[in-house]
């Protein structure tokens, strides 16, 4: 017994070793067969990472697996991926593996596909990317794949975790099948047999931009009779599910030379209205198990005829319901008096003749009755729509009767009586002549709230009249926060906006008693709104879909801490740009005029504005208006009126305020009847401490004009002149928006302001020119407006005054010397005849000494002499005087 067991064990071990080892011996042969089969059958580029053979996975059958299969198209879909398969496996009898190339083809018994992704496409010229099989030039039977080394006698097949996309550019059809799992069991080799299949997937279906199914779960359990001789496939026991709606169908599909001959009928087996809710995706209908319903719901259809390149089968599908109702157990309201009568038909076989006729679609919630009907024709091309709406709907009842999760809560009463007829091309191209609208609609007590707005939007009343091509806004009254709006106008393409994502165009007149900008803007990041979900960039974008003209008239507009009165102007909105024209307002006891534009098309908003101010109250405007405060911070201490024109451009920050570091432009300012106020700044205090001969409170700034330019965060002030009594002052320099200053003020100070010492010196010189002398004193202003520094140029003042006084004294002495020479020469000439030679010599020497002293700078005795000590004393006197002026000397020294 032990010997027998040992023999059996050794035999099994040998068999296992052979089952493991043999695939390696035949690996090359299998790869060659696969490559040869591909080349013989496909006009496409095919790649795979590996081909493996296993005698164990499907024992007692052999399994051949191809990994990472990729099929890429040739022209006219060059380099487009037709299909990818993670793994595809074939099973066959082990004896098939040992056949040589000269023997009959290898017979495949089953196929397993895992994670296949396939795209089927038909372009506008009718080319199909799936026409990749080579024509069979042999007389092979249907069970032999032409010159292939494979033939198929399939018992079962399986497709797992796969997806399929079908795109038809001619009919504008898009079908997407995801999460596809399908399996079938039967025999394809027999002339007649049965195929038992089960399929489940999520299906999306779009026709001409209209979405009819969106990831709807679909199931199919079908028993199909196979007549391979006549290529006829008959549905025997079949049940399909669209969402939770069951459909039973019967009939056949037969392959004929021109296409497929189809004769199929279907209907839902029951008639409970709950079946209607089952059609709606679960994301919207929720759990319908406990929903109470009444009335019936029936779907019946026949699809019969030839499906070919030029025809489709005739269609006769009806969806009906009479006096039905439903109520969800957790909701307070019910929907009653539901009547549905809809047909989908085609009687010619021409796809363009397919139409949908919604004869009746009515319902009632509480006492509100809503009726509608519509026809949709020419579905695959330029769809024609004719619709009627008539009824009343309390918007708040929608979520009370049906478990729909609206993004934003709604309240209000909607009333409509409207007929509209149009074709989709007319909507897309704004061909208003082909858009026929007649009727009216109104909404009252409408409240709209959203996480993206600060305050709920209350529309007390809005009335629309629908005319051919246009919609008239007869009345619109609304309030949000503290803002009120009244509007009238015309909307040119409401249907284009609603149905085709077109730009919404219109012209409006808007009036407001109070318009508070913050009511329409989200809060800043530093104080985020609890309602807010979108980013600031999204919140502050001018809508790309909006193109309109708005003529505005507001009694009060509140922006930040500014109150603008009697605001009028025109706003043009287009391509995410708002253009202002003739915006006028009263503010700061003056008049404001604004023109320019703001664009949010790029990631960072930009602006380009021209501002004109007439008669502004300086102190108030430079205190409250951030821009003016940055341009001239010192102006906040001024009192009086201002005229100015400002041209500027730059970028806006996240709060829609100018980013000062990017602002560039220029400004021209004119001060009217202006003086420095009592509450002086630290800068003025330091200037007074350094220049005690000026009382800045008495500085006259009337009719002052100056020009500023700004760029790269810096304001440059061109030189301008002002006067304090008879002191001329020239100011120039620049400052940064961060308040850093670099200014100079040159004071041309008359000598008479320099105190008693200088006045005594002037009196000693006793010359009229001295009293008109001025000393240029420069004050260099740096630091910041809150912490300024003031430095004065003493050296140049002393040097200038000293040189002027010395020059005047020298000229005076020269003139005195000249007079003495004249007297001596006169004496010499007059008495020369009576004097001796020695006397003449003495007189001549005296003349020479006087002339030499004048010319050479020699000392002159008596009244004609001025010593160097005198010059030094003069300089010291000036130093002392200037030192007192630029120090803390009392103002009573000022004359």
Predicted confidence (pLDDT) per residue in 361-399, tens digit: 999 998 899 999 999 998 878 889 999 999 999 988 988
Mean pLDDT of 517-534: 51
Question: Which residue pairs from 247-253 have beta carbons closer than 8 angstroms and sit at least 24 positions apart in sequence?
Answer: 247/299, 251/303
Task: Decide if 156 contacts 111 (C-beta within 8 A).
Answer: no
d(CA 113, CA 781) in angstroms, rounded, equals 84
pLDDT at 718 over 60: yes
Across 274-278, 463-467, 567-571, 869-873, least confident range: 869-873
Q: At residue 3, does pLDDT exceed 60?
A: no
pLDDT of residue 144 exceeding 50, the answer is: no
Please answer whether residues 219 and 254 qualify as being in contact, where contact means their C-beta atoms are separated by less than 8 angstroms.
Answer: no
Q: How buried is 302 (Cβ within 10 angstroms: 0-12 exposed, 13-18 middle, 19+ buried)? A: middle
- Report the C-alpha gap between 481 and 523 in whole angstroms: 14
**Of 707, 724, 725, which Cα lies nearest the Cα of 716?**
707
CB atoms inside a 10 Å sphere around CB 613: 24
List of residues 6+ apart from 571 with CB closer than 8 A = 549, 550, 551, 552, 578, 579, 580, 581
Give the per-residue pLDDT at 364. Answer: 94
Q: Tell me the C-alpha distance between 27 and 4, whole Å.
A: 35
Q: How much is the pLDDT for 455?
A: 81
Residue position matching structure tokens 């052979």: 18
- 155 close to 186: Cβ distance less than 8 angstroms: yes
Q: What is the pLDDT of residue 176?
A: 92
Quote the CA–CA distance of 669 and 611 in Å, as a whole number. 12
Closest by CA position to 109, among listed 125, 96, 127, 122: 96
Q: What is the pLDDT of residue 140?
A: 40
Spatial separation of the C-alpha atoms in residues 704 and 729, rounded to whole Å: 12
Q: Are 116 and 84 in contact (CB under 8 A)?
A: yes
Between 269 and 879, the more confident residue is 269
Given a contact cutoff of 8 angstroms between Cβ atoms, the answer to whether 431 and 458 are in contact is: no
Of 700, 705, 644, 695, residue with least CA distance to 675: 700
Say whether 812 sits in a helix, a strand or coil.
Answer: helix
pLDDT of residue 786: 79
| Residue with the two structure tokens 């059809």 | 173
Q: How far apart are CA 666 and CA 658, in angstroms?
A: 15
- 10 Å Cβ neighbour count for 591? 16
DSSP string, 84-108: EEEEEEEEEEHHHHT--TTSSPEEE
Q: Which residues contact 271 (CB under 8 A, 6 or more apart)?
A: 296, 297, 298
Q: What phi-psi label fits residue 273: left (phi over 0), alpha (psi between -120 and 50 degrees) or beta? A: alpha
- Give 625 or 300, the one with higher predicted confidence: 300
Q: Is the pLDDT of residue 237 over 90?
A: no
Burial zone of 28 (CB within 10 Å; 0-12 exposed, 13-18 middle, 19+ buried)? exposed
Tokens of 165: 């996309």
Question: Given this model, what pLDDT does residue 188 score?
Answer: 66
pLDDT-above-90 percentage for the chain:
21
Is the pLDDT at 281 greater than 90, yes or no?
Answer: no
Would you state the pLDDT for residue 725?
80
d(CA 381, CA 385): 12
Looking up tokens 């979900």 gives: 533
pLDDT band at 149 (very low <50, low <70, confident <90, very high): low
Give Cα 779 distance to the centre of its chain.
50
Q: How far apart are alpha carbons 563 and 514 in whole angstroms? A: 10
Q: Which residue has the higher pLDDT, 622 or 85?
A: 85
pLDDT at site 253: 92
Per-residue pLDDT, averaged over 477-504, amounts to 83
525 pLDDT band (50/70/90 cuts)? very low
Cβ contact 33:106 at 8 Å: yes
What are the start-end ranges of the H helices in 655-754? 682-690
Closest CA to 751 of 877, 837, 595: 877
Q: Are 173 and 203 in contact (CB under 8 A)?
A: no
C-alpha–C-alpha distance, residues 664 and 651, integer Å: 10
Structure confidence at residue 537 (pLDDT): 43
The continuous run of DSSP H or E covering 775 comes out as: strand 774-783
pLDDT value of residue 538: 47
Interatomic CA distance for residues 69 and 90, integer angstroms: 14
Name the DSSP letter for residue 310: S
Residues in CB range of 197: below 8 A, 6 or more apart: 182, 183, 184, 185, 220, 221, 222, 223, 224
Where do the DSSP E strands lie in 395-435?
A: 410-423
Query: Over 60: is that where the pLDDT of 410 sits?
Result: yes
CB 549 within 8 A of CB 508: yes
DSSP assigned state of 290: T
The separation between the first and the last C-alpha atoms of the chain, rounded to the nearest angstrom, is 143
Q: How many residues does the chain have?
A: 895
d(CA 795, CA 265): 111
pLDDT at 347 over 60: yes
Find, among 465, 550, 469, the residue nearest to 512 by Cα.
Answer: 550
Is the pLDDT score of 616 beyond 70?
A: yes
**How sure is the predictor about 304, in pLDDT bands with cuts at 50, 70 and 90?**
very high
> Could you read off the pLDDT of 553-594 as tens digits, one per residue?
999 988 767 788 999 999 898 988 889 898 999 988 888 899
Q: Identify the burial level of 541 via C-beta atoms within 10 angstroms of its C-beta, where 0-12 means exposed, 13-18 middle and 19 or more buried.
A: middle
Residue showing tokens 């079938």: 184
pLDDT in tens, 729-778: 888 988 888 888 898 888 887 766 666 655 666 666 655 555 567 777 88
Q: By mean pLDDT, which of 36-40, 140-144, 788-792, 801-805 is the weakest?
A: 140-144
Contact 318, 343 (CB under 8 A): yes
55 Rama class: left (phi>0) / alpha (psi -120 to 50) / beta:
alpha
| Nearest-angstrom CA–CA distance, 483 and 117 | 55
H-only helix segments in 455-614: 494-500, 536-539
> Range with the lowest mean pLDDT among 10-24, 508-522, 624-638?
10-24
Radius of gyration, CA atoms only, the chain: 50
CA–CA distance, 396 with 394 (Å, rounded to integer): 6
Position 82 scores a pLDDT of 87
pLDDT for the residue 526:
35
Q: How confident is the model at residue 511 (pLDDT cuts 50, 70, 90)?
A: very high
User: Is the bond into 112 cis (omega within 30 degrees of 0)?
Assistant: no
Range in 139-143, 263-267, 609-613, 661-665 the model is least confident about: 139-143
- 203, 291, 344, 361 from 243: Cα distances, Å: 10, 16, 20, 22
Per-residue pLDDT at 28 exceeds 60:
no
Q: How far apart are CA 890 and CA 881, in angstroms?
A: 12
More confident residue, 129 or 533: 129
pTM (whole model) above 0.75: no
Rounded to the nearest 10°, the torsion over CA 493, 499, 501, 503 is 0
Confidence band, pLDDT 50/70/90 cuts, at residue 840: low
- Which pLDDT belongs to residue 147? 43
> pLDDT digit string (tens) for 425-484?
887 777 777 888 899 999 999 887 766 567 888 989 999 998 877 889 999 999 988 999
| Averaged pLDDT of the chain | 77
Say yes or no to pLDDT of 21 above 80: no
Among 612, 650, 635, 651, which Cα is nearest to 684's? 635
Q: Which residues on adjacent β-strands are paired with residue 272?
A: 296
What's the pLDDT at 833? 53
């Amino acid at each position: 017994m032990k010997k027998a067991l040992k023999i059996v064990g050794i035999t099994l071990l040998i068999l296992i070793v052979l089952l493991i080892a043999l695939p390696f011996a035949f690996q090359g042969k299998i790869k060659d067969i696969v490559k040869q089969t591909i080349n013989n059958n496909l006009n496409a580029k095919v790649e795979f990472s590996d081909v493996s053979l296993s005698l164990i996975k499907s024992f007692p059958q052999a399994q051949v697996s191809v990994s990472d299969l990729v099929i890429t198209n040739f022209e006219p879909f060059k380099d487009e991926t037709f299909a990818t398969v993670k793994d595809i496996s074939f099973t066959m009898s082990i004896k098939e593996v040992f056949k040589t190339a000269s023997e009959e083809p290898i017979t495949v018994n089953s196929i397993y596909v895992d994670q296949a992704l396939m795209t089927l496409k038909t372009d506008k010229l009718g080319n199909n990317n799936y026409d990749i099989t080579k024509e069979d030039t042999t007389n092979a039977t249907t069970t032999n794949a032409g010159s292939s080394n494979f033939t198929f006698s399939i018992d079962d097949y399986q497709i797992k975790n796969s997806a399929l996309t079908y795109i038809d550019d001619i009919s504008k059809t898009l079908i997407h099948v995801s999460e596809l799992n399908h399996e079938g069991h039967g025999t394809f080799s027999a002339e007649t047999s049965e195929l038992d299949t089960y399929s489940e997937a999520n299906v999306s279906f779009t026709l001409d931009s209209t979405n009819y199914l969106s990831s709807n779960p679909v199931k199919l359990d079908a028993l199909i009779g196979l007549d391979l001789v006549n290529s006829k496939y008959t549905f025997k026991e079949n049940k399909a599910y669209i969402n939770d709606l069951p459909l039973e169908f019967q009939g056949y599909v037969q392959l004929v030379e021109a296409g497929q001959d189809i004769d199929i009928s279907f209907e839902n087996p029951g008639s409970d209205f709950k079946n209607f809710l089952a059609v709606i995706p679960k994301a919207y209908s929720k759990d319908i198990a406990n929903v109470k319903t009444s009335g019936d719901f029936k779907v019946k259809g026949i699809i019969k005829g030839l499906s070919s390149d030029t025809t489709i089968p005739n269609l006769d599908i009806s969806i009906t319901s009479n006096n039905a109702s439903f109520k969800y157990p957790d909701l307070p309201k019910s929907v009653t008096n539901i009547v549905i009568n809809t047909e989908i038909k085609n009687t010619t076989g021409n796809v363009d003749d397919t139409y949908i006729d919604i004869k009746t679609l009515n319902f009632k919630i509480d006492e509100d009755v809503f009726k509608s009907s519509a026809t949709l024709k020419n579905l695959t091309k330029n769809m024609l729509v004719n619709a009627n709406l008539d009824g009343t709907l309390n918007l708040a009842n929608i979520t009370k009767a049906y478990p729909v999760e609206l993004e934003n809560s709604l309240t209000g009463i909607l009333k409509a009586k409207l007929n509209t007829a149009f074709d989709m091309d007319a909507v897309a191209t704004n061909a208003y002549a082909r858009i026929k609208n007649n009727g009216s609609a109104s909404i009252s007590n409408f409240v709209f709230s959203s996480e993206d707005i600060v305050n709920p939007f209350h529309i007390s009343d809005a009335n629309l009249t629908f005319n051919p091509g246009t919609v008239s806004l007869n009345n619109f009254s609304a309030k949000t926060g503290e803002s009120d709006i009244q509007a009238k106008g015309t909307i040119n393409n409401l249907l284009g906006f609603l149905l085709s994502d077109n730009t919404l165009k219109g012209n409006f007149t808007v009036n407001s008693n109070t318009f508070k900008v913050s009511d329409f803007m989200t809060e800043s990041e530093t104080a985020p709104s609890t309602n807010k979900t979108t980013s600031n960039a999204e919140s502050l974008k001018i809508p790309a879909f909006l193109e309109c003209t708005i003529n505005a008239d507001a009694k009060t507009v509140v922006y930040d801490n500014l109150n603008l009165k009697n605001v009028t102007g025109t706003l043009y909105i287009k391509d995410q740009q708002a253009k202002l024209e003739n915006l006028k307002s009263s503010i700061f006891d003056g008049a404001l005029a604004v023109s320019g534009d703001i664009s949010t098309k790029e990631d960072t908003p930009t602006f380009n504005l021209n501002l004109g101010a007439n008669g502004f109250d300086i102190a108030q405007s430079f205190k409250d208006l951030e821009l003016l405060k940055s341009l001239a911070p010192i102006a906040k201490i001024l009192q009086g009126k201002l005229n100015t024109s400002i041209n500027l451009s730059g970028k806006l920050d996240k709060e829609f305020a100018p980013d000062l570091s990017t602002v560039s432009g220029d400004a021209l300012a004119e001060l009217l009847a202006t003086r420095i106020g009592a509450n002086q700044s630290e800068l003025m205090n330091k200037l007074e401490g350094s220049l005690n001969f000026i009382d800045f409170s008495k500085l006259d700034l009337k009719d002052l004009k100056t020009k500023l330019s700004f760029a790269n965060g810096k304001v440059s002030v061109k030189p301008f002149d002002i006067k304090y009594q008879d002191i001329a002052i020239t100011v120039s320099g620049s400052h940064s928006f961060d308040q850093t200053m670099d200014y100079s003020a040159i004071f041309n100070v008359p000598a008479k302001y320099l105190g008693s010492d200088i006045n005594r010196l002037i009196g000693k010189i006793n010359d009229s020119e001295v009293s008109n002398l001025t000393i240029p004193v420069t004050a260099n202003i740096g630091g910041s407006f809150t912490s300024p520094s003031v430095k004065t140029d003493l050296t140049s003042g002393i040097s200038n005054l000293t040189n002027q006084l010395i020059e005047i004294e020298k000229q005076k002495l020269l003139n005195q010397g000249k007079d003495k020479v004249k007297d001596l020469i006169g004496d010499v000439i007059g008495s020369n005849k009576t004097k001796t030679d020695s006397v003449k010599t003495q007189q001549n020497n005296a003349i020479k000494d006087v002339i030499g002293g004048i010319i050479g700078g020699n000392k002159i005795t008596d009244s004609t002499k001025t010593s160097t000590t005198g010059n030094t004393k003069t300089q010291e006197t000036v130093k002392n005087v200037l030192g007192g002026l630029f120090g803390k000397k009392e103002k009573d020294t000022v004359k």
